[in-house]
Amino acid sequence: MSEPTARRRGRPPRTESAGTRDRILAAAREEFSERGYEKTSVRGIAKAAGVDSALVHHYFGTKEQVFEAAVEVAFAPALNAPNTLAEGPLDGVGERLTRFVFGVWENPTTRTPLLAILRSAVNNETAAAVFRRLVAAQLLRRIAAQLDLPDAELRAELAAAQVVGTAMMRYVIKLEPLASVDLELIIARVAPVVQGHLTRP
Amino acid sequence: MSEPTARRRGRPPRTESAGTRDRILAAAREEFSERGYEKTSVRGIAKAAGVDSALVHHYFGTKEQVFEAAVEVAFAPALNAPNTLAEGPLDGVGERLTRFVFGVWENPTTRTPLLAILRSAVNNETAAAVFRRLVAAQLLRRIAAQLDLPDAELRAELAAAQVVGTAMMRYVIKLEPLASVDLELIIARVAPVVQGHLTRP
């Protein structure tokens, strides 16, 4: 958790900085989750973290960059997942991916930042750009790379559309019966679709 | 267009009221599209329509009710569609529904209010409730009613999740290549999924 990203600006001595950075990141995650991208300010993040705005800029740069860092932390498990998820037999990849994503959504701790990202991306072009960079470039493209098919990226996106659409209906819009049915029932319906998008000739 | 909904409060003489109601509704659609549900006020809608706030309340009631009326107009073609869409051979229903929904999304005039509804529903519980009432009760349940299967509503929702998720990735988040590929390619991939959700044993 203390070193979630590689890109970093020049920074103060190690011991003090790790705690401060984490505190700013936690405050940023909280602020973006509660208010969404547009209504969150660097000043508000700094205040919540108990530091000066200048320190937030020092560690992360612009508001967009703070957002990206906060999203990156939230996505960290997902960003590392494709490597292991796409390993193993290809005919089980649909179920592995579906189980993994819904596992993240079912957990309230990981659901909150995901919700914040989705809400911000739907409402703000800058946040959508961050979503595109992280999700498209890092997550979907790494899944696609393992498929070895000419239209692998489109396949990964259509699979993601089914999963994200289902998660939105279940956890955000809360359409019934989808919001209340047992998760296993959803996985039984969605996993074959994900599998089909990814591997059907 | 002049009589989009059945529920109506006591209203002034017909000739004058039709024009005023339509003007208020058009202003409401515009305001909700531009600002989203939370930032839109009845006062702002009234100002944009060139009328007094009291008149907006008189015709529609609360802000939630103005929103519902505006959404209902935007959804009018879709709300009437299930009757005809679900007629005809059942093995073509996936493609008919998919073509219909993407037709609405591809048209900038009908896309704007849809975007506004989606954005508002993702961000605000009151707007989500309107979305649930209109989309779930009126649209999906009417499709489900024609399927004659015990889990028809869940099937309709999972089909909708693939379509709405794909529309979100293509038109809102603008993930590439999904945002730029030919619509026919998307329909070729999505229609069998919709068909499968709706009718596969």
User: Does B190 sit within 8 Å of A168, measured CB to CB?
Assistant: no
pLDDT band at A14 (very low <50, low <70, confident <90, very high): very low
Of A154, A168, A175, the CB nearest to B178: A154
How is domain A63-199 classified at the architecture level of CATH?
A: Orthogonal Bundle (1.10)
Of A123, A131, A166, the CB nearest to B161: A166
Q: Could you report the per-residue pLDDT of B80-108, keeping only the tens digit for each?
A: 665 666 667 778 889 988 998 898 889 88
Q: Could you report the per-residue pLDDT of B14-50, keeping only the tens digit for each?
A: 455 668 999 999 899 888 888 888 889 999 999 999 9
Residues 101 through 160 of chain B touching chain A, CB cutoff 8 Å: 118-119, 121-123, 128, 131-132, 135-136, 140, 153-154, 157-158, 160
Choose, out of A157, A168, A198, the residue to mutate when testing the contact with B (most B CBs < 10 Å): A157
User: Does A123 sit within 8 Å of B173, measured CB to CB?
Assistant: no
Of A136, A163, A169, the CB nearest to B157: A169
Domain residue extents for chain B: 62-199
User: Does B160 sit within 8 Å of A164, measured CB to CB?
Assistant: no
Q: Is A4 exposed, middle or buried (0-12, 13-18, 19+ CB in 10 A)?
A: middle
Residues contacting B67, CB < 8 A, separation 6+: B28, B32, B37, B40, B120, B126, B127, B130
Determine whether domain B62-199 maps to CATH 1.10.357.10. yes
The reply to whether ipTM tops 0.90 is no
- Residue B22 near residue B69 (C-beta atoms within 8 A): no
